[in-house]
Structure 1
Amino acid sequence: MRAFVLTGPREFEVQEVETPTAAPGQVVVDVERVGVCGTDVEFFTGEMQYLTEGHARFPMRLGHEWSGTVASVGAGVDESWVGHRVTGDTMLGCGVCRRCRGGHQHVCQDRFEVGIRGGYAGALAEQVAVPATSLHALPEGLDPVAGALVEPGGNALRCVLGAQLEPGERLLVLGPGTIGLLVALFARARGAEVHLMGRSAGSLEFARSLGFEGVWTDDTLPDLPFDAVVDASNAPSLPARAIELVEPAGRVVYVGLAGSPSLVDTRALALADVTAVGVLSASPGLAGTIEHYACGAVDPRPLVSATVGLDGVGAVLAGVRPTGAGPGPKVHVDPRRWPPSLLPQGH
């Protein structure tokens, strides 16, 4: 099968690789959509911390935001999974340690992360093999595009839950990228008054197109009491800024990661009685995200600006917008899409 392989920083190939076989406890999925994520970009540039820590190394196969249809199952797996559209948890814990047994496999010290950590092959390929225990069935009517947005949605939903917003309370989201916009959509669905702060005129205009009126730059941000602030940016200065902006006794949620350390004065937290929450993984939010998408409370699909084939992934990771792309921040990949020059004869 064809797969996108990152062979080194800014080096990549679409290769013919061995088709996966479902080992005991696994399924093989025909991949229909994969989202390109900021984490993938960090691997592309070589800046991802896991590379320096030894949790990942080249060559690697990316892709952790995915959806597809189960094609086959291994020994010990219910055969009724075959033919079902699914997505899956990125975090694969060992299953036996204290954290896993407590339901926190996403912070297992010995975890694999699909397409990210431990050499576990990701979904930027025609097929991917994953444990059946990681699967989440997608309801009928939830298309592959929404399915591949469940993973980023799980992170966003966890941010909103971490902010503990009540209807009518005011939220400020820093960074109107994919996660930030999804946070805004989930918070609005819960009845919060949502504001967003960013820098790019295009991203701010897109946020307005989704119906958000409180869209600002740092210079134009009004002096309002924000009950919670979610930092979904990659700016090293904004974690401290979030504490300045939140109301005393409020909550700050950190989900964005900068490429360099972010300094926070804990005196500012303590003296304002502010609660800080960190969100690493979508794992505990996947089921709730599917429910929100399925009932129509949140529609993530407008965030997708374009869909490319495997041969277009390298350019996207390098920051090139696909021809004809819309204004949304997310680019999807359809691994079944072949370049015209490579189509089998008769197709």
Structure 2
Amino acid sequence: MIMMRALVLTGPGKAEVQQVPEPVAAVGQVIVDVERAGVCGTDVELFTGEMSYLHSGVSSYPLRPGHEWSGTVRAVGPGVDESWAGRRVTGDTMIGCGHCRRCIAGRHHVCPDRHELGIRDGLAGALAEQLAFPAAYLHALPDTVDATAGALVEPAGNAQRCVDAAALAPGERLLILGTGTIGLLTAMLARARGIEVHLLGERAGRDDAWTRETLPDLPWDAVVDASNGPELPGLAVSLVEPGRRVVYIGLSGTPSLIDTRDAVLKDVTTVGILGASAGLAPAIAAFASGSVDPRPLVAATVGLGSAAEILAGRRPAGSATGPKILINPQL
């Protein structure tokens, strides 16, 4: 049996690189040599044990995380088009059953029996040298999208859905709560559409990022909450212009309170975003065209052996200021 290295979460606060069997492509699957994999807040919550899926029973230890990734197809399984072999790819995190009412209607990302790569039980994640992945959920990467940008397609797909849901025209004003990866990608994609963007969060040297104390008194045509602050969903409703939209993608560790009277009396539309699925193709197109370059968001790229330290919150020495750490599983 041929073995490979993979990161395995064995319990709350416990992670180690283990030797595991190399995956074999089942019907409809490909095998990918993973070139880059991102570490995101969901991975951290799975590591700490705070992730709600661990308490609802859809996720359990041992667990192999990683759902933001790019790589090259090394082998194809039965029933898969041979042309995928050798192609550079990324993929959808949300893997639906394919035959339920929601999947048939194009809402596979909320399929009740879905897999979530590296998150829910059933499909091992991309923090490994190789990944078995269903070909139906692959997205090809153009030559202009390198491995680093390719690993940022998944969070950018989420951000793209936020921009779409905000329903703004060029020249209108968007406020984004949170300056993490999703918030900053949302800002990049919105600006590429000609939208005026402001952020509420850590300044990090930006002239478009405000604190609660310095936030200007402007009409906000839409607000995207990409934070984890339990008080910010309510703030979003209070700040947005009447008759416009609030988009929620951030999750707090405790329940958030929204006064529905505020939403009703302001005629506010609120939209929740789960998953990147519908945003992946346009995110790839934005990266490929050069209208959005996500690579400055990457603070460092480290080897698989450093992944546990990253999950524990330790940034590599010499890291840049960006919010994203990438793993190269081949190192």
Tell me, yes or no, whether TM beats 0.5: yes
Which residue identity lines up with residue 219 of structure 1 in the other structure?
E
Give me the TM-score of the superposition, normalised by structure 2.
0.98
Q: Does 1:205 align with 2:204?
A: yes
Please point out which of 99, 109, 114 is paired with 2:112. 109
* Distance (Å, rounded) in 2 between the aligned partners of 1:28 and 1:128: 6
How big is each residue's C-alpha offset from its partner over 1:143-202, in whole Å with a ceiling of 9 and x where there is no partner? 00000000000000000000001001000000000000000001101111100001x3xx
How big is each residue's C-alpha offset from its partner over 1:265-315, in whole Å with a ceiling of 9 and x where there is no partner? 111111000110100010010001000000011110000000111110111
The question of whether the paired residues in 2 share the 8 Å contact of 1:254 and 1:276 is answered with: yes
Which residue identity lines up with residue 83 of structure 2 in the other structure?
S
Which residue identity lines up with residue 39 of structure 2 in the other structure?
V
Instruction: Say what the alpha-carbon RMSD is for the aligned residues.
Output: 0.7
- Moved runs in structure 1, 4+ residues, more than 6 A? none
The question of whether the paired residues in 2 share the 8 Å contact of 1:36 and 1:332 is answered with: yes
* Distance (Å, rounded) in 1 between the aligned partners of 2:216 and 2:28: 54
Task: Indicate the residue corresponding to 1:47 in structure 2.
Answer: 50
Q: Does 1:126 align with 2:129?
A: yes
- How far off its partner does 1:324 sit? 1.0
- How far off its partner does 1:71 sit? 0.3
Q: Does 1:316 align with 2:329?
A: no
Q: Does 1:236 align with 2:230?
A: yes
* Distance (Å, rounded) in 2 between the aligned partners of 1:184 and 1:143: 21
Q: What secondary structure does 1:17 align onto?
A: strand
- The residue correspondences of 1:52-201 to structure 2 (distance < 5 A) are 52-198=55-201, 200=202
Percent sequence identity is: 65
* Distance (Å, rounded) in 1 between the aligned partners of 2:86 and 2:101: 35
Task: Indicate the residue corresponding to 1:259 in structure 2.
Answer: 253
Task: Indicate the residue corresponding to 2:284 in structure 1.
Answer: 290
* Distance (Å, rounded) in 2 between the aligned partners of 1:267 and 1:163: 21
The question of whether the paired residues in 2 share the 8 Å contact of 1:57 and 1:119 is answered with: no
Count of aligned pairs between the two proteins: 328
- How far off its partner does 1:13 sit? 1.1
Q: What secondary structure does 1:316 align onto?
A: helix
* Distance (Å, rounded) in 1 between the aligned partners of 2:20 and 2:178: 37
- How far off its partner does 1:214 sit? 2.4
The question of whether the paired residues in 1 share the 8 Å contact of 2:63 and 2:121 is answered with: no
* Distance (Å, rounded) in 2 between the aligned partners of 1:214 and 1:224: 13
Task: Indicate the residue corresponding to 1:223 in structure 2.
Answer: 217
Q: What secondary structure does 2:262 align onto?
A: helix
The question of whether the paired residues in 2 share the 8 Å contact of 1:3 and 1:126 is answered with: yes
Unaligned runs of 5+ in 1: 338-347
Which residue identity lines up with residue 175 of structure 2 in the other structure?
L
Which residue identity lines up with residue 180 of structure 1 in the other structure?
G
